[in-house]
């Protein structure tokens, strides 16, 4: 197998992107930790997190992913003492910790902790995020078998089938006659 050499430019750009991504999430973790002091624990978790997020919504501009991560981090801080179990990977035991400590873990592990905190407070998110499906459901069609059989009965129908086959690149030829003995 021939091994294709990696482009040094591509490798450098990917490493730079990974480092930038890690530092962005780190800054976001810091921001959520500072904002955690502004959470109002006397009101429901969803209202408290939304109140703080709304205060800083202009900072996110149109970056919905960062805003969502910020909200999940705030959820972890709101339920800081909630025990959570974090999946540590294949063939490893889950890590049992608190939501506050889980807020310093990777994005996916923190998201899992935030989900567990929401479940503990009985405020699960609805699935789908309100989006419409990418591909709409296919419309119901008539029974093609009946339609095809009906076309085969008439000469006009048979001509339509032949023209469609030719249109799609099929070459039609008569079958050779069988020799009779």
SS (HEC) of 11-52: HHHHHHHHHHHHHHHHHHHHHHHHHHHHCCCCCCHHHHHHHH
Structure confidence by residue, pLDDT tens digits, 20-38: 877 888 889 999 999 999 9
The pLDDT-based confidence of 158 (bands split at 50, 70, 90) is confident
The pLDDT-based confidence of 135 (bands split at 50, 70, 90) is low
CB contact set of 79 (below 8 Å; sequence gap of 6+): 45, 99, 117, 120, 121
pLDDT in the model for residue 137: 64
Average pLDDT of the chain to the nearest whole number = 82
| Residues 28 and 70 sit within 8 Å (Cβ to Cβ) | yes
The pLDDT-based confidence of 91 (bands split at 50, 70, 90) is confident
pLDDT in the model for residue 34: 93
CB contact set of 129 (below 8 Å; sequence gap of 6+): none
Structure confidence by residue, pLDDT tens digits, 73-87: 999 999 989 999 988
**Concatenated DSSP letters of 57-86:** HHHHTT-HHHHHHHHHHHHHHHTTT-EEEE
Structure confidence by residue, pLDDT tens digits, 34-64: 999 999 999 999 999 999 999 998 888 888 8
pLDDT in the model for residue 131: 61
Whole-prediction pTM: 0.62
């Amino acid at each position: 197998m021939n091994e294709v050499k990696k482009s040094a430019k591509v490798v450098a750009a990917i490493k730079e992107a990974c480092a930038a991504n890690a530092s962005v999430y780190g800054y976001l973790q810091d921001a959520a930790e500072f904002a955690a002091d502004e959470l109002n624990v006397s009101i429901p978790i969803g209202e408290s997190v939304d109140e703080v997020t709304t205060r800083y919504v202009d900072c996110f501009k149109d970056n919905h992913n960062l805003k969502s991560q910020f909200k999940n981090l705030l959820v972890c801080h709101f339920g800081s003492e909630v025990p959570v179990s974090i999946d540590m990977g294949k063939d490893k035991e889950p890590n049992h910790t608190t939501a506050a400590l889980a807020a310093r873990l990777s994005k996916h592990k923190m998201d899992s902790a935030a989900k567990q905190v929401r479940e503990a407070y009985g405020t699960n998110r609805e699935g789908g995020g309100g989006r419409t499906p990418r591909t709409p459901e296919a419309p119901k069609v008539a029974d093609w078998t009946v339609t095809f059989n009906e076309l085969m009965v008439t000469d006009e129908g048979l001509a339509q089938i032949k023209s469609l086959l030719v249109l799609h690149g099929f070459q039609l030829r008569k079958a050779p006659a069988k020799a009779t003995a």
